[in-house]
Amino acid sequence: ATGTVYDILAKTNLPRGLIPKGVRSYDLKPDGKVEKYKFQFASTFGGIIHDGSITEVYGVNLQVKFAWLGVNQVVRAGSQLTFHVQTFTQSFPVSNFPVSPSCS
Mean pLDDT by 10 residues, the chain (104 residues): 76 80 64 46 70 88 72 91 85 80 63
Other beta carbons within 10 angstroms of residue 21's beta carbon come to: 12
Query: Is 62 a member of any domain?
Result: yes
Domain annotation covers residue 40: yes
25 DSSP 8-state letter: -
Residue 88, in any domain of the structure: yes
pLDDT at 73: 92
In a domain, 104, yes or no: no
pLDDT at residue 99 in the model:
74
pTM over cut 0.85: no
pLDDT for the residue 5: 78
Domain count, the chain: 1
Q: Comparing C-alpha atoms, which of 77, 73, 65 is closest to residue 89?
A: 73
**101 lies in some domain:** no
What distance in Å separates the CA atoms of residue 59 and residue 44, rounded to the nearest whole number?
6
Distance, CA of 11 to CA of 98 (rounded, Å): 15
Residue 48 lies in a domain: yes
* pLDDT given at position 32: 67
Q: Is 44 within the bounds of a domain? A: yes
What is the spatial distance between Cα 37 and Cα 78, in angstroms, rounded to a whole number? 29
Domain that holds residue 25: 5-96
